Amino acid sequence: MSYDALRFIHSLAAYVWLGSLFGSLIFATIATRRSPGGVLTGAQAIVRFSTRVGLPAAILLLLAGIWMVATGDGPSGGSWIMAGFVLWLLAAVGGSALMHPTARKLRAAASDAEAVALAKRIIMIGGGEIILVAIAIWIMGAKPGS
């Protein structure tokens, strides 16, 4: 596969991942404002989108990025690639490691107050992932230090 095709797949996967996080966060915000139980609906939407859209996009993003580096046709420089990988690791692995156990606790919550607190934590994790992915996209586009 050509470098340009891999770059397209890599970029598309990054924007799909960011879009799924951003869209689900907007949905969570709207749902929270519409009804008291909306925070639970919003948190469940974030988990659902993260699992069904965000995680596959993140994996495709990583695979296309590794393949691009392996071709050796792209720009040289390692610091911005390493920074992008570290941010990917924090957002994908860290987000999943924090979000999914919290979602399991949410499903088993004993009280409404506990459920709302856990739902708010999920929404905050989703917001943190958006920040990390947006910074990674900037780094990969600007290629600082190269």
pLDDT, tens only, 76-87: 667 888 899 999
Copy the structure tokens of residue 66.
């590794």
pLDDT, tens only, 44-61: 888 888 889 999 999 999
Q: What is the mean pLDDT of the chain?
A: 89
At residue 89, the pLDDT reads 94
pTM of the model: 0.86
Give the side-chain half-sphere CA count within 13 A for 125.
Answer: 26
Domain boundaries, the chain: 3-142
